């Protein structure tokens, strides 16, 4: 627990140095100074060393030693930052590696659930429904991409052949027609 308190202090100290919110910086520095005087075992300098100085009893941690979430949320919200997510509890989510390491059947390995977050509005907590990826969908994607690549190669070959064999006047007329079509769309 001492290491977690120390890591939190280091992280918040870094954030306070990178932001320009005076009240936030003041709160962080007040807590760190209090810890330096009365609880050095809750700071990185005392924990992340070869022989750490740790406290045996962290049950009665004084409130002055802790960063207050309500104060941080209030200060950041008052400065125009979105602090809604600070009030949400941390819920660990399984990664793909965790799912695969705990697999019980081949079906779980083949059928992975992929969650895609909405990139249009990062402030909203709405999520796009999970897309199921199976062996068949992967196989179709690979086969389809091969056909698309083949069509693209054929189209390129035709364009190169046209420019090599067509007379200059025909190429100029074709490009001029496309330019005038584009110009008419712009007008």
Rounded Cα distance, 33 and 2, in Å: 16
Confirm if 2 and 47 have CB atoms less than 8 A apart. Answer: yes
Residue 47 pLDDT > 70, yes or no? Answer: yes
* pLDDT tens figures, 1-46: 778 888 888 888 888 888 888 898 999 899 999 888 888 888 888 7
Query: Which tokens go with 162?
Result: 């046209």
Q: Is 148 helix (H, G, I), strand (E, B) or coil?
A: helix
In the numeric block, the tokens 């110009």 are attached to: 183
Residue carrying the six token digits 């074709």: 174
79 pLDDT tier (thresholds 50, 70, 90): confident
Q: Which residues share a beta bridge with 127?
A: 117
Residue 23 tokens, joined: 């009240």
DSSP 19: S
């Amino acid at each position: 627990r001492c290491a977690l308190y120390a890591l939190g202090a280091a992280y918040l100290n870094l954030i306070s140095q990178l932001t320009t919110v005076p009240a936030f910086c003041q709160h962080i520095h007040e807590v760190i100074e209090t810890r330096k005087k009365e609880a050095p075992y809750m700071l990185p300098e005392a924990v992340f060393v070869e022989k750490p100085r740790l406290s045996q009893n962290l049950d009665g941690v004084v409130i002055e030693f802790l960063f207050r979430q309500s104060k941080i949320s209030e200060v950041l919200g008052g400065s125009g930052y979105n602090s809604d997510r600070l009030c949400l509890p941390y819920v660990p989510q399984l990664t793909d590696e965790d799912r695969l390491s705990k697999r019980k059947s081949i079906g779980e390995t083949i059928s992975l659930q992929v969650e895609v977050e909405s990139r249009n509005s990062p402030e909203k907590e709405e999520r796009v429904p999970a897309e199921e990826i199976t062996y068949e969908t992967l196989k179709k994607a690979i086969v389809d991409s091969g056909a698309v690549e083949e069509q693209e190669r054929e189209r390129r070959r035709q364009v190169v052949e046209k420019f090599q064999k067509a007379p200059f006047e025909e190429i100029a007329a074709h490009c001029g027609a496309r330019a005038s079509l584009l110009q008419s769309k712009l007008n």
